[in-house]
């Protein structure tokens, strides 16, 4: 594997003297041949810093790592999470991309859960409840929050609110102005042992004053029952679905309430369409493969340490935060599947924000900073508002930024010189609806998995999030005035603060 990545490094050195404008000008068919369309999603890779020879090497790497076989193993329910001995069957939540027994069984369970979701949603719609509070963190929060923020309409039956941060200010701000008699709450936690979620759930339960409007999504029925939520108001989660891949499951119950079940099902259908594409398309026509190979090229060929994601649609403003978890929690690994240290670099730092706001903040660094940051630009062609001039300006800025980053601009004054050669991928949706958003999110999921296959790492465990929690659990008694804090520095800090107080 390291030899194959070293081959990418050789191509990067070969291309070091070639500018992006030169690569584009020297290949008249590049814009057409370096683009793909999958349903409502168009992608163009022409402004990435590779040529056809480098692409040949990347697709040879895809063949050598058997990305097609890896995709089948994922869809079939093979053990793709070996450190925990689990499958990762989130694709079965949204479609029947595999006829393998494990996938069929997972699909049956998913459909049963959707049927139960529909019944609970109908009952809530017939009640006097007007507001829903969703309580979770990480994958139990970011996915539903993204989709609801992107697609909810003013005429929705329910107003959705989200609490994730254990900071008590978060709960107080959400609950302020709500009527507990007209509010229901959903506590979402796979193990029902997540500290932040249970603390916030306790605040909301006490505020409601009546457990009859409290719901749960979890795999641990005993803990849910002990919390005071009966089985008839508890929806399932499963070990074969990781938290950051769970919005398609009953974790998406807030989505179904905010959008209605038909639009939630359209979201699932869009993701299922991307599943079929990732399964069936040949590598050079496969958008997930192109995206994954481009990410590996930028990391291991160009040695880019950061990646920006820049949605030019206010409704997708939460996408960067969602992708931070999806990508960095999945790919933030430094050992191979066999536990040996990796010689190659893995995930860059993902960050970003919505255009055009970000043009007035960190774009200065993108254009003239010393670090080259590849970027995914995401746009929506058809506006769902009546402000045509605004939408034209938005798209003009989107396209202008990709061009300016690639081409740069020379000047006698070095302070006004733009070096250019900043690579980017352009992703355009025909319109932002549930089906298209499902396709977009599933594209990133499959790209992440295929990157993990290329690097030989596990995309589905996340042990790196545990250590800080363990240390916090040891320190918590000291903050409550109980027992001994396990760290000398912390004890000294606590003594200092208590003295000042």
- Which residues belong to the active site? 329, 360, 469
Q: 422, 19 in Cβ contact below 8 A?
A: no
Write the CA distances from 230 to 165, 210, 237, integer angstroms.
Answer: 25, 13, 15
- Identify the burial level of 159 via C-beta atoms within 10 angstroms of its C-beta, where 0-12 means exposed, 13-18 middle and 19 or more buried: middle
> Cα–Cα distance between 216 and 86 in angstroms, integer?
24
Q: 480, 309 in Cβ contact below 8 A?
A: no
- Identify the burial level of 494 via C-beta atoms within 10 angstroms of its C-beta, where 0-12 means exposed, 13-18 middle and 19 or more buried: middle
Look up residue 115 and give its two tokens. 């049927």
Picking from 275, 301, 270, 217, the residue whose alpha carbon sits closest to that of residue 433 is 270
Write the CA distances from 328 to 224, 283, 427, integer angstroms.
Answer: 30, 24, 21
Picking from 50, 34, 20, the residue whose alpha carbon sits closest to that of residue 420 is 20
Write the CA distances from 410 to 84, 265, 363, 399, 420, integer angstroms.
Answer: 53, 51, 18, 20, 9
- Torsions phi, psi of 465, nearest 5? -85, -5
> Cα–Cα distance between 340 and 321 in angstroms, integer?
30
Hey, which bits of 356-492 come out as E strands?
Answer: 375-382, 424-431
What residues contact residue 362 under an 8 Å CB cut-off, 6+ apart?
A: 353
> Cα–Cα distance between 169 and 167 in angstroms, integer?
5
Picking from 213, 229, 230, 216, the residue whose alpha carbon sits closest to that of residue 130 is 213
Per DSSP, the residues of 194-252 read -HHHHHHHHHHHHHH--GGGEEEEES-HHHHHHHT--GGGEEE--TTS-GGG-TTTGGG
What residues contact residue 7 under an 8 Å CB cut-off, 6+ apart?
A: 57, 61
- Identify the burial level of 305 via C-beta atoms within 10 angstroms of its C-beta, where 0-12 means exposed, 13-18 middle and 19 or more buried: middle
Q: Look at the block and give the residue holding tokens 């820049």.
A: 310
Neighbours of 414 (CB within 10 A): 7
């Amino acid at each position: 594997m390291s030899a194959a990545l070293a081959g990418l490094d050789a191509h990067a050195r070969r291309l070091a003297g070639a500018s992006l404008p030169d690569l584009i000008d020297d290949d008249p068919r590049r814009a057409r041949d370096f683009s793909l369309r999958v349903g409502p999603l168009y992608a163009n890779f022409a402004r990435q810093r590779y040529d056809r020879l480098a692409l040949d090497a990347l697709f040879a790497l895809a063949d050598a790592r058997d990305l097609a076989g890896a995709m089948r193993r994922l869809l079939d329910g093979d053990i793709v999470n070996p450190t925990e001995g689990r499958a990762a069957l989130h694709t079965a939540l949204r479609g029947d991309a595999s006829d393998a027994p494990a996938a069929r069984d997972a699909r049956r369970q998913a459909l049963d859960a959707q049927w139960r979701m529909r019944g609970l949603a109908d009952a809530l719609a017939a009640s006097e409840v007007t507001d829903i509070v969703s309580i979770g963190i990480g994958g139990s929060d970011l996915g539903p929050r993204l989709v609801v923020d992107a697609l909810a309409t003013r005429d929705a039956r329910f107003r959705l609110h989200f609490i994730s941060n254990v900071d008590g200010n978060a709960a107080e701000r959400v609950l302020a102005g709500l009527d507990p008699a007209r509010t229901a709450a959903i506590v979402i936690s796979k193990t029902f042992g997540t500290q932040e979620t249970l603390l916030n759930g306790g605040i909301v339960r006490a505020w409601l004053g009546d457990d009859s409007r409290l719901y749960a999504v979890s795999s641990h029925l005993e803990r849910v029952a002990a919390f005071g939520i009966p089985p008839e108001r508890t929806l399932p989660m499963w070990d074969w679905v990781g938290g950051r891949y769970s919005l398609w499951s009953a974790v998406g119950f807030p989505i179904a309430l905010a959008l209605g079940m038909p639009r939630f099902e359209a979201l699932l259908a869009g993701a299922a369409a991307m599943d079929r594409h990732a399964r069936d398309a040949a590598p050079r026509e496969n958008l997930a493969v192109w995206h994954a190979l481009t990410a590996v090229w930028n990391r291991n060929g160009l040695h880019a340490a950061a990646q920006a994601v820049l949605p030019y649609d206010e409704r997708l403003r939460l996408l960067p935060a969602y992708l931070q978890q999806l990508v960095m929690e999945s790919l933030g690994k430094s050992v191979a599947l066999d536990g040996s240290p990796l010689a190659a670099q893995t995930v860059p730092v993902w960050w970003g924000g919505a255009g055009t706001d970000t043009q007035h903040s960190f774009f200065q660094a993108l254009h003239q900073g010393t670090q080259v940051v590849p970027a995914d630009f995401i746009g929506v062609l058809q506006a769902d508002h009546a402000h045509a001039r605004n939408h034209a300006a938005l798209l003009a800025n989107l396209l202008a930024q990709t061009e300016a980053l690639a081409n740069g601009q020379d000047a006698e004054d070095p302070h006004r010189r733009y070096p250019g050669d900043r690579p980017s991928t352009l992703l355009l949706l025909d319109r932002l609806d549930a089906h298209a958003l499902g396709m977009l999110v599933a594209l990133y999921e499959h790209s992440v998995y295929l990157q993990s296959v290329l690097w030989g790492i596990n995309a589905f465990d996340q042990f790196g999030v545990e250590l800080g929690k363990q240390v916090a659990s040891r320190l918590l008694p000291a903050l409550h005035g109980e027992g001994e804090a396990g760290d000398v520095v912390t004890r000294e800090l606590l003594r200092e603060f208590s003295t000042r107080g």
